[in-house]
Structure 1
Amino acid sequence: MSDFQKEVETRVEAVAGNSELKDKAAKFLEASVASKYSYNFFWLGRPIIQYPQDMVAMQELIWAVKPDLIIETGIAHGGSLILSASMLAMIELAEAAEKGEVVDPNKPKRKVLGIDIDIRAHNKAAIEAHPFYPRIEMIQGSSIAEDIIAQVREVASRYSNILVCLDSNHTHDHVLKELELYAPLTSVGSYCVVFDTLVENMPAETSNDRPWGPGDNPMTAVHEYLKTHSEFVIDKHVENKLLITVAPDGYLKRVS
């Protein structure tokens, strides 16, 4: 570890005890959720509906883990799929450069698998027209349906290093079921990232007419799942680094 990296680690560790800084971050999050701040950003031309901080965190995790398959539940406009695909492309370019090889963009070694109950036609067309689409596969259907998870497992069986992102229906029951089905596909040393755990910390009115809210959301599902799954731990280092994140307690690292 370089001296600079050590300095970063020291600063991040200090955040855990900085109540003033964390309080200010929480106030920004509450105000920004109400203003739909996360809807303002794009990744390589596609709306991503994520906070920039979480986008940077995913970049860091993907580069560190170097997965050969990323599974994502929830597609929306496809920005997250494009982010993942672009990162996998850069990993392959870096590996090829080290070996003096050339990457064939139409024959990628790594893949992103997206699952959504309703892949809208205009979003599907835009994703398929994107230059990184050769790295993407999409499945339409409920992420917790038996036939869908069977397809996911079949794809996953062809890969050895898997990272998972859960970002679909945010009710407790749905996310808990997703964790039961998808978290086991996560490779040791990789991550299962559960988005929108922030709902637990937000005023009930910010959920509007959604079927989730405080007491019934991804964070409550994460805490329930971890009671019986010691193979995962919450990576607080990521959360402390970001301060602004929609996934507090949601960066789950598989340690065994």
Structure 2
Amino acid sequence: MSNTTTFNPIEAFRQERTDRIASYANKADLKEAAAVFNEVSNREQYSYNFSWMGRPIIQYPQDMIAMQELIWQIKPDLIIETGIAHGGSLIYYASLLELIGKGDVLGIDIDIRDHNRREIEAHPMFKRISMLQGSAVDQNLVDEVSKLAEGKETVMVCLDSNHTHAHVLRELELYASLVTVGSYMVVFDTIIEDMPVDFYDRPWNKGDNPKTAVWEFLKTNDNFEIDHSIDNKLLISVAPEGYLKRVR
């Protein structure tokens, strides 16, 4: 009997990619180049340049690809997103679920502006979207979201609303239990911590932002881990250390 292992080119390609991505963690020149682009592109509002199926999405293409990979892999029954803005992300996630053939998207925002609501409701992907207006950290609203998540086999959560430390930390605490094991809670705009002090004319800043909230959250919650393989793969992202996988 032969002990020769049959060569699998598909698995070989996957392993080569995995090894290459892991190697990026130690490539200082590559990481430095990405850091420069991250800072300059944030200054120039690069993320505002893109749309999905006609709606502004306000995301980096790299993060869009990462989300596509996760959604295809996980095939969630429900994606919960705090922060709606123009609705591009809702429509993007809904279109991926439409291709998969199952799943719904729930968007939450404290102020769903009328012109954005009209565009979202008129979109072909609205059939997989529902929206709730209110603060994402209001307990009554969270209770309503929890009821909508009941019985869902796989749930993913994306946090992209108010980016202050206190607000994001509270979101993490309130929505963590809704994320199913093996799925993700994605915290956007952790990049704020990597920008210079007073880079943004907003309530958040270096030392007070989604990444500091993630660090604080993980001190007392070992159900989640940062998926550093996504950080190594993307390099250019608004969510470094923000892809949190529920492992238990």
TM-score (norm 1): 0.92
For residue 101 of structure 1, what is the aligned residue in structure 2? none
CA distance in 1, matches of 2:177, 2:39: 32
The answer for the alignment partner of 1:247 in structure 2 is: 239
**3-state SS in 1 of match to 2:105:** strand
Provide, for residues 170-190 of structure 1, a one-character-per-residue CA deviation record: whole Å limited to 9, x for no partner.
Answer: 000000000000111100000
| Number of the residue aligned with 2:50 | 41
Report the 3-state secondary structure (helix = DSSP H, G, I; strand = E; otherwise coil) of the residue aligned with 1:207: coil
- Per-residue deviation, 1:205: 3.0
Deviations 1:28-74 (A, max 9, x none): 01000010000000011110000000000000000001100000000
2: CA distance, partners of 1:90 / 1:163: 17
Letter in 1 for 2:108: I
Q: Which residue of 2 aligns with 1:84?
A: 93
Find 2:203's aligned residue among 198, 211, 227: 211
Q: For residues 149-180 of structure 1, what are the alpha-carbon distances to aligned partners after superposition, in whole Å with 9 as ceiling and x for unaligned?
A: 11111101141210000000000000000000
The residue number in structure 1 matching 2:4 is none
- Aligned residue for 2:228? 236
CA distance in 2, matches of 1:89, 1:233: 29
Map 1:40-59 → 2, pairs under 5 A? 40-59=49-68
The 8 Å contact of residues 53 and 244 in structure 1, kept in 2 or not, is answered as yes
CA distance in 2, matches of 1:66, 1:211: 35
Residues 166-245 of structure 1 mapped to structure 2, 5 A cutoff: 166-208=159-201, 210-245=202-237
Corresponding residue for 2:34? 25
What amino acid does structure 1 have at the position aligned with 2:218?
A: L
Secondary structure, in 3 states, of the residue corresponding to 1:2?
A: helix
Q: Distance in 1 between matches of 2:135 and 2:214?
A: 20
CA deviations over 1:178-230 (Å, ceiling 9, x no partner): 0000111100000000000000010123212x110000000000000000111
Q: Deviations over 1:64-93 (max 9, x none)?
A: 01100000000000000011101111111x
Alignment gaps of 5+ in structure 2:
1-9
| Segments ≥4 residues shifted beyond 4 Å | none
Contact 1:46 1:78 in 2 (8 A): yes
Q: Give the structure 2 partner of residue 97 of structure 1.
A: none
Percent identical across equivalent pairs?
Answer: 60
Tell me how far apart the structure 2 counterparts of residues 183 and 19 of structure 1 sit (CA, whole Å).
34
Query: RMSD of the TM alignment (CA)?
Result: 0.8
Whole-Å separation in 1 of the counterparts to 2:94 and 2:71? 10
Residue 166 of structure 1 contacts residue 193 of structure 1 at CA under 8 Å; is this kept in 2? yes
Cα distance in structure 2, aligned partners of 1:87 and 1:26? 30
SS at match of 1:153: helix
Pairing partner for 2:136 from 133, 143, 146: 143
In 2, Cα distance between the equivalents of 1:154 and 1:184?
A: 12
Question: Whole-Å Cα distance in 2 between the matches of residues 158 and 118 of structure 1?
Answer: 28
Aligned length: 239
The answer for unaligned runs of 5 or more in structure 1 is 93-108
CA contact 1:33–1:206 (8 Å) conserved in 2: no
The answer to whether the 8 A contact 2:105-2:128 is kept is: yes
**Aligned counterparts of 1:247 and 1:159: Cα–Cα separation in 2:** 26
